């Protein structure tokens, strides 16, 4: 999970990291910063639920 406005770990680095890990999925929270998981808690939870549902199909 990354925030699109993260200045500590640029999104391009996370994209690269996710591409190198087999089976990894990268979730980007729009306008999120380095702490997007905490500052965008509702959006993060909703996206996680959607992804879990998509995997079950």
**pLDDT at 55 (0 to 100):** 67
> Residue ranges of the domains in the chain?
2-56
What is the spatial distance between Cα 27 and Cα 20, in angstroms, rounded to a whole number?
15
Identify any residues that bridge with 1 across adjacent strands, giving them in sequence order.
Answer: none
Q: Indicate yes or no: pTM above 0.75.
A: no
Is residue 3 predicted with pLDDT exceeding 80? yes
Which one has a higher pLDDT value, 21 or 55? 21
**At 3, phi and psi to the nearest 5?**
-100, 140
What digits encode the pLDDT tens for the residues 15-44? 999 999 998 888 888 888 888 878 888 888
**pLDDT at 22 (0 to 100):** 94
Which one has a higher pLDDT value, 3 or 55? 3
**At 22, phi and psi to the nearest 5?**
-55, 130
């Amino acid at each position: 999970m990354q925030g699109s406005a993260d200045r500590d770990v640029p999104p391009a680095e996370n994209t690269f990291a996710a591409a190198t890990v087999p089976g990894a999925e990268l979730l980007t929270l729009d306008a999120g910063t380095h702490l997007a998981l905490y500052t965008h808690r509702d959006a993060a939870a909703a996206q996680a639920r959607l992804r879990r549902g998509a995997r079950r199909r």
